[in-house]
Structure 1
Amino acid sequence: MKFLQINLLKEFLTQSLKLLSSGLITSIGFVVLSSGRLEFVNSDIVLEILIFTQYLMIGLTVCKFGVDNLLYVNFLVDETKKYSPFNYIKKNGLYLILIFSLIIYFIEKDLVNSILVFLCLLLDVMSILIIVQLGARKFFGQVFIGNFLSYPLFFVSFLILGFFFNFNKIAFVLLFLSCATLRFLVVGKFYRDINAVEMNPKFEFKLGFQQLLNYVLFKSDQILFSLGTLSMIWFGYNKNELQKYMFLSRFPELISGVLVSLVFLYGSKMTITNKNDFVELIKKYKLSLIGYIFLLLFFFLAYTLFWKGDSFISIGEFLPYLLISILIFFVNMVTLGFLKHEKINKLNFNLSISIFLAVLFQFFLLFISVKSSLLWITPMQMIIFVFLILFEKNEIN
């Protein structure tokens, strides 16, 4: 029995490492890039790189529109079928990618940049739809390879080549496009090796709206920062401030990545569906939550020491991102509560209300000329979203 437990623990740690390692490399890569410590890369190029990758992250969420989650659930139930990413591209994906690329063109007025966004998204959407099918079948080794060939491979290649070549934005994007192409070719081979029947599932796009709203809830500030020049004009930020805020925003993403990866350990026990659940969770895990908050404070303070930009990180800039890091746990538990009871419409309603009210609050702060107001839009949305659950007196059923 003891030998069996050791084997199970070893297998668990091995699979967890495969799933977490590529995400950890990606996060470290973004932290190093945005920190200002890469002296061989011009700060203006760094900002352009961060904005471009932000476009890709937003675009990926928009263009896959929740289909990856639906496929994952479908293939957990039935492994005898598979779904070709080309079918999704032909039916919906191509139009969404094209529309998003046109929006980027109108923002940037750069045709080459828009074409590169289009090509990167086209490859990434198809790769993701294959990777989720591999994950549902527990092919974690192939999932690791598929994930590593994206941002992790890019960052490793970028750091090595950066010592020998002077990178401009186009060179950076072409390197990323090369990694995306390699990933698609490799995971495409994995897909062809799956012995299953092609399927044509019906997709409920309300889950896609939920993903979009959830992305806005967590990353409204980053979406606005990604507007680049427009952000500097509208909100009065300079380039160094934008890079600093993007650096600060990476810490909540690190925390979110860890919590999402570990959700299978605590998710079923700590979902929040009403006011009573919320109060009980606070009471039951009071000491753990206090410890969690102090750990976040300690690690975030240590994280800020890595910043090597031209401006100082003030308390007013530090606090909103600390608050986001704390609220991530509660937002995830509320979201899981709605999803567990399949109340997607109610979840979308609460997300929409939270975003709408926070935007009104944002306009008010801008009206009274609070320059740092943009930093508070995301924590305000999250506070409202968690607060709304207090009006759910009875269990969602």
Structure 2
Amino acid sequence: MEADLPQIAIGKPSFSFDQQGGGNGFAIQISGDSTEILNDLAIDIARSLETVEGLKDVISDGDSGNKEIRVNIDRVRAANVGLSAQAIAQSVSIAMRGENLREFRDRSGEIAIRLAFRENDKQSIEQLADLPLYTPEGRRITLGTVASLHVGRSPDSIRRTDRQTAVILSANLENDVSIDDVRPRVKSLMDQMQLPPGYSWKEGRGFERQDDTADMMATNIILGIACIFLVMAALFESLILPFSIILGSIVFSIFGVFLLFAATGTTFSFMAMIGIMILIGVVVNNGIVLVDHINNLRQEGVSRDAAIVTAGRDRLRPILMTVATTIVGLLPLAIGTTQVGGDGPPYYPMARAIIGGLAFSTVVSLLVVPALYVYFDSLAAWGRKVMRTARQGRVRALES
């Protein structure tokens, strides 16, 4: 859209994208007591943010309001002539907005009467400064003698955070630049700026929600792994053997996610965390199929090492076929730009997380899971031997 816009000599158009909707948005919040000071700070900070590499179209919501004329009454001068701020404000209100008077009645009915300045008498700030005011003694003065007038902008809305007024500075990101790339640059710049006492800055609410969401997803992943552990412990009738799959499949799958993200330059996002949650439930299937077949062969009398070799040979083709079909099915989503709801976060981080973790963990787990199985099975056998020796020693002690 920006590429097709014609050149405008008097300005540069910009577009604002919703950060939470998956767009290229970045925002910071400045808080303090005075709206005027916040607006002045926002102008200086916006000018500084324009110099940050990767940011463009920096705007402040304090400048988004309409223009207004602000009348600052000098209360000392007004008191000297016998006028109150309320009386002056009432005169200004009548001049600008008018005032309804009592209806005029005649034979034809009632006629509404409204007292107001003519439109051509309220076109400039100079005309407002010449507004006549009358003192209690009947002396005529002008508004400019007891008040100062200047043009400013009124905010569309007043934001408050923790009982303080806040101003939001938002910006768009350059192409091929992520929020994580810009975030440390902005933090470094803002840490160097000296804000007045009582004024502070922080990243926008989108970042707070993003951090809260990341913490929640990390908790969900841990709970998911715990549930998977309980299922595998019940299946294998062991509290030790499930660790061979958790360490051999899940850990290496997460490592594979970051490996593929680094190779493709994909930014780790909320959708990537959803992909990891899905991945955890998928990669354990390969380990469960392998370890369960090893246990079945051992129950038939096959030695442990022979059972591992036989199970690896028997389950190699099904595991590779399952992984290959999953990866091929996710490839269109991984290389496409489809977004949730059309304008939400893209799907490809989730698809790439599943593909990278599944591919890497499959290759590694075919070697690591059997090795860990041997280790934990030997550890379990040693534990059983220790317990058996301890029981025999206790029995001998009781007999003697």
Q: TM-score, normalised by structure 1?
A: 0.27
Greater fraction of residues in strand: 2
Q: TM-score, normalised by structure 2?
A: 0.26
